[in-house]
Amino acid sequence: MSKLKVVVVGNGMVGHHFVDQMIQSEINAEITVIGGETRPAYDRVHLSEVFAGKQPKDLYLTSREFYSDNGVEAHFGDPVADINRSEKRVITENGQSFEYDKLVLATGSYPFVPPIEGSDRDECLTYRTIDDLAEIKANAEDSKIGVVVGGGLLGLECANAVQNLGLETHVVEFAPGLMGVQLDEGGSKMLRRKIEALGVKVHTQKATTLINENGSTKLRMNFADDTHLDTDMIVFSAGIRPYDQLAKKADLEVGARGGIVVDYHCRTSDSDIYAIGECALFGNMIYGLVAPGYRMAEVAVNQLSDAEEKTSFKGADMSTKLKLLGVDVGSIGDAHGKSANSIGYTFSDEREEIYKRIIVSGDGKTLLGAVLVGDCSDYDTLLQYFLNGIELPEKPENMILPATDGSSAPTLGVSALPMAATICSCHNVSKGDIVASIDGGCCSLGDVKCETKAASGCGGCAALLKNVVDDEMEARGLTVDKSICEHFPHTREELYHMIRVGEIKSFTDLIHKHGKGLGCEICKPAVANILASTWNDHVLEDNHVGLQDTNDTFLANMQKDGTYSVVPRVPGGEIKPKQLIAIGQVGEQYGLYTKITGGQRVDLFGARLNQLPDIWKQLIDAGLETGHAYAKSLRTVKSCVGSTWCRYGVQDSVGTAIDIENRYKGLRSPHKIKMAVSGCTRECAEAQCKDVGIIATENGWNMYVCGNGGMKPRHADLFATDLTTETLIKYIDRFLMFYIKTADRLQRTSVWMGNLEGGLDYLKEVIIADSLGIAEELEQQMAHIISTYQCEWKTAIEDTEKLKRFRQFVNSKEEDANVIFVQERGQIRPANEDEKNERNAQTA
């Protein structure tokens, strides 16, 4: 069967989702993507975060490499100019031509700029693409005042961006109220009140007639009511219009007010051409949200497949919940109460600035719509009532009224939700999917999140997800046993608490008081680790030595043949030639295999147990110290070369990396910790895949947390921006100590944060705002660890008792005859089974 030629025009969020879904499907297709912008698809929804510290590349949803790795031909920056339907080909502006069997139009939309005289001036901008952002930023540099035209969702999002740039911000709206589509009059008024309190000036019912020059500022907007507003820059964000010119030129059916007409299979008037996303007009409506666009993309993929079950697009719920300028706003269904015979209930609190309204059916049984401003905590529950037609409680008004007699508002029993109920709309995860993941073995919120991706998009469904997971677990009679092992009926966090509060200094004491039996390979190292994070005694003290994993016992990493590898610390990756030579000499003298690690240091392999003390003596004499590569503790703080040498660097990343590595070296933690410091936004140290990532800005440091590489890579989240070095260190102190205090054994920071109710925001509250009042305590605990640091190897080689441990045999100087090396690429490697047999045959 020959491959189906599929050409996709447009590489926005929906166009990319289509390609992504095609790749995941088993459809035998040759896919060509033609994007008008010069860059591949990115997340437009979170555009304004670029002004709050994110990099444009943080928004990317894909890459050229991803496409080419998956056999997708991608062309960017050369928009399609024509569709030749009779020859079934598209032609780009530069004259490239591509044949198709099926064509998918995902051309998206463009910002509507009202036809006002003067709106083509240089200081008049739009807000839609990453390039637009760059222009807004450039214009803002010599501006004091910025006006956003448009008081809708996009306009307010844009106003947030303008305010973040430090400009006096105005919003000009033609209609009587803000967000007229989503909010009723009362909600709109409350929103205005809250936004004005934040310093944004709102002007409604203003029709701009002329934009001309003005003396003191760059521009003057003249309104139809003879008033005017002076400004330096104007951003139009007054709605979108579908990009349908291509379709028009090709004589496809187009709506009277724009939009390519599609049927419920997302097919246009030409059955070989599909249109999806914001360029498509379905049921005389443009769906300007990303979720419906994704659903359209999935329907189109289904159409191209030979799946027997055909799906269709039946319109989409446009309910939405978002934070605009920090204000919570929610809108569900018929927000304006236009349904026949509907009844409305309103709650308005002008002191707390909260407005809530629900619209219910005449019989009071079904929820038809809702408006929430200032408090969206009821949104999830209301939305589920609305989407699933769940019968309302007898007094529906209680759903939005604050608790007066100590009883809280009735929350929705999640068990009432049907299996088809969508819990996470970003990733289209239903209650059924969550139940299936629990059936499949997931037994914690974190597991379910990893498995289903629920709550990993906008995160708005996190609370609801938790309720569903808890409810399901309970229904199965599953109480998750979080005991660390059979010897202690406690979690790691509880053991930590017992050790610290009870001032317990040894495993024997702890198991005597709080456990039973002899212990095992799970609880012993975990307790040794907590004891070290708390009291910081040497790990080879008599009462700790038997607790350690072999790597900690011998302060080296055991390899497959029972030999060890040795890694000296190289703080920040900075090393003197002399020390490199010393490492080289040790490697040569003991015939070790040497390799550069990913953490900017050198690993020496093939050391026998009895060689370790001599090797370390030489390394310590050369000024090196232990690298803790064997421990659950801070490994490395990777750095780029930074402002000292690099043309682009804005801060001394090496110096900071060295200081940080020296500060936290030896700190025992629930799992290994990796950090990195980059000297500018080019991010050469790859800080965003570390537990703590630090990226220099012109004003200081941006701090990222909870990233990791490895089996399940995760990008770190932006935690705080433009910190001074002093504040940065303070936050890292608190962050690490809080992790050590509350994480499970062998839990990386990313999973730990995933399991914290409230996730990143909660972490910010604890670390930055000190919501638990423990910041000082955490800093003091860290200070103790730092002041009691010792190089474990230095202490070990000075103590003959400790050295006894490094004998291969207690009664013989013989060596382990099973350790056999062969040469490969001029260095040693362990012999494999065949090579060992051959060697033994020769000697026999």
Partner 1 sequence: MSINQIICDKNDLIENSGVAAMVDGEQIAIFYLPTTEKKIFAISNWDPIGKANILSRGIVGDYEGKIVVSSPLYKQHFDLESGLCLEDEKAPVRTYSVSLKNDKVVMA
Q: How far apart are CA 469 and CA 435, in angstroms?
A: 8
CA 132 to chain CA centroid, Å, is 24
Q: How far apart are CA 797 and CA 759, in angstroms?
A: 44
Q: Which stretch binds partner 1 (CB under 8 A): 114-122, 151-159, 766-774, 810-818?
A: 810-818
- Please say which residue, 532 or 694, places its beta carbon nearer to partner 1: 532
Query: Can residue 800 be called a binding residue for partner 1 (CB under 8 A)?
Result: no
Q: How far apart are CA 708 and CA 688, in angstroms?
A: 8
Q: Which two tokens stand for residue 512?
A: 């005597």
Binding partner 1 (rule: CB under 8 A), the pick from 37, 168, 334, 549 is 549
- Please say which residue, 621 or 814, places its beta carbon nearer to partner 1: 814
Query: Can residue 393 be called a binding residue for partner 1 (CB under 8 A)?
Result: no
- Please say which residue, 365 or 836, places its beta carbon nearer to partner 1: 836
Binding partner 1 (rule: CB under 8 A), the pick from 199, 413, 517, 591 is 517
Query: Can residue 545 be called a binding residue for partner 1 (CB under 8 A)?
Result: yes
Query: Can residue 727 be called a binding residue for partner 1 (CB under 8 A)?
Result: no
- Please say which residue, 415 or 840, places its beta carbon nearer to partner 1: 840
- Please say which residue, 313 or 630, places its beta carbon nearer to partner 1: 630
H/E element, 717: strand 717-723
- Please say which residue, 308 or 814, places its beta carbon nearer to partner 1: 814
Q: Which stretch binds partner 1 (CB under 8 A): 6-14, 37-45, 183-191, 805-813?
A: 805-813
Query: Can residue 521 be called a binding residue for partner 1 (CB under 8 A)?
Result: yes
| CB atoms near residue 780 (< 10 Å) | 11
Query: Can residue 605 be called a binding residue for partner 1 (CB under 8 A)?
Result: no
CA 502 to chain CA centroid, Å, is 38
Q: How far apart are CA 143 and CA 122, in angstroms?
A: 13
Query: Can residue 503 be called a binding residue for partner 1 (CB under 8 A)?
Result: no
Query: Can residue 524 be called a binding residue for partner 1 (CB under 8 A)?
Result: yes
Count of residues near partner 1 by CB under 8 A: 36
String of contacts with partner 1 for each residue 818-837, x by CB under 8 A: x--------------x----
Residues of this chain, 561-600, that bind partner 1 according to CB under 8 A: 561-562
- Please say which residue, 671 or 714, places its beta carbon nearer to partner 1: 671
Q: Which stretch binds partner 1 (CB under 8 A): 23-31, 329-337, 555-563, 768-776?
A: 555-563
First to last CA, the chain: 62
Binding partner 1 (rule: CB under 8 A), the pick from 45, 558, 641, 774 is 558
Q: How far apart are CA 699 and CA 490, in angstroms?
A: 45
- Please say which residue, 351 or 804, places its beta carbon nearer to partner 1: 804
Which residues in 367-399 are b (16+ Cβ under 10 Å) and which e? bbbbbbbbbbebbbbbbbbbbbebebeeebbbb
Q: Are 219 and 212 in contact (CB under 8 A)?
A: yes
Binding partner 1 (rule: CB under 8 A), the pick from 196, 225, 542, 765 is 542
Task: Using DSSP bridges, classify how beta strands 73-76 and 29-35 pair: parallel, antiparallel or unpaired.
Answer: parallel
Binding partner 1 (rule: CB under 8 A), the pick from 43, 509, 816, 835 is 816
Residues of this chain, 368-387, that bind partner 1 according to CB under 8 A: none
Query: Can residue 811 be called a binding residue for partner 1 (CB under 8 A)?
Result: yes
Binding partner 1 (rule: CB under 8 A), the pick from 336, 357, 487, 492 is 487
In angstroms, what is the minimal distance from the CB of 794 to partner 1? Answer: 21
CA atoms lying within 13 Å on the CB side of residue 775:
15
Query: Can residue 805 be called a binding residue for partner 1 (CB under 8 A)?
Result: yes
Q: How far apart are CA 66 and CA 68, in angstroms?
A: 6
Q: Which stretch binds partner 1 (CB under 8 A): 145-153, 489-497, 730-738, 811-819?
A: 811-819
Q: How far apart are CA 721 and CA 703, in angstroms?
A: 6
Q: How far apart are CA 103 and CA 89, in angstroms?
A: 9
In angstroms, what is the minimal distance from the CB of 837 to partner 1? Answer: 12
In angstroms, what is the minimal distance from the CB of 752 to partner 1? Answer: 23
In angstroms, what is the minimal distance from the CB of 674 to partner 1? Answer: 23
- The per-type count for the chain, helices as H runs and strands as E runs, is 26, 39
The amino acid sitting at 704 is: Y
- Please say which residue, 379 or 806, places its beta carbon nearer to partner 1: 806
Q: How far apart are CA 456 and CA 673, in angstroms?
A: 23
- Please say which residue, 265 or 608, places its beta carbon nearer to partner 1: 608
Binding partner 1 (rule: CB under 8 A), the pick from 550, 597, 721, 725 is 550
The C-alpha angle 237, 240, 242, rounded to 5 degrees, equals: 155
Q: Which stretch binds partner 1 (CB under 8 A): 130-138, 143-151, 557-565, 727-735?
A: 557-565
Q: How far apart are CA 113 and CA 807, in angstroms?
A: 80
Question: What letter would DSSP give residue 170?
Answer: E
* 602: three-class secondary structure by DSSP: strand
H/E element, 103: strand 102-105
Q: How far apart are CA 61 and CA 110, in angstroms?
A: 20
In angstroms, what is the minimal distance from the CB of 298 to partner 1? Answer: 43
Q: How far apart are CA 742 and CA 756, in angstroms?
A: 9
Torsion of CA 685, 689, 693, 699, to 10 degrees: 70
| CB atoms near residue 802 (< 10 Å) | 19
Query: Can residue 205 be called a binding residue for partner 1 (CB under 8 A)?
Result: no
Residues composing the chain: 844
Q: Which stretch binds partner 1 (CB under 8 A): 301-309, 432-440, 515-523, 649-657?
A: 515-523
Query: Can residue 843 be called a binding residue for partner 1 (CB under 8 A)?
Result: no
Binding partner 1 (rule: CB under 8 A), the pick from 812, 823, 842, 843 is 812
- Cα dihedral sign, 449-453-455-461: negative
Strands (DSSP E) found in 267-319: 273-275, 280-282, 285-286
Alpha carbon separation from 474 to 237, 415, 477 (Å, rounded): 48, 11, 5
In angstroms, what is the minimal distance from the CB of 507 to partner 1? Answer: 9
Binding partner 1 (rule: CB under 8 A), the pick from 809, 822, 837, 840 is 809
Binding partner 1 (rule: CB under 8 A), the pick from 456, 533, 553, 626 is 553
What percent of the residues of the chain are helix, what percent strand, and what percent coil, each to the nearest 5? 35, 25, 45
Query: Can residue 214 be called a binding residue for partner 1 (CB under 8 A)?
Result: no
Q: Which two tokens stand for residue 338?
A: 């236009």
In angstroms, what is the minimal distance from the CB of 521 to partner 1? Answer: 4
- Please say which residue, 26 or 814, places its beta carbon nearer to partner 1: 814
Residues of this chain, 729-788, that bind partner 1 according to CB under 8 A: none
The contact set with partner 1 (CB under 8 A) reads: 486-487, 517-521, 523-525, 542, 545-551, 553-554, 558, 560-562, 804-805, 807-812, 814, 816, 818, 833
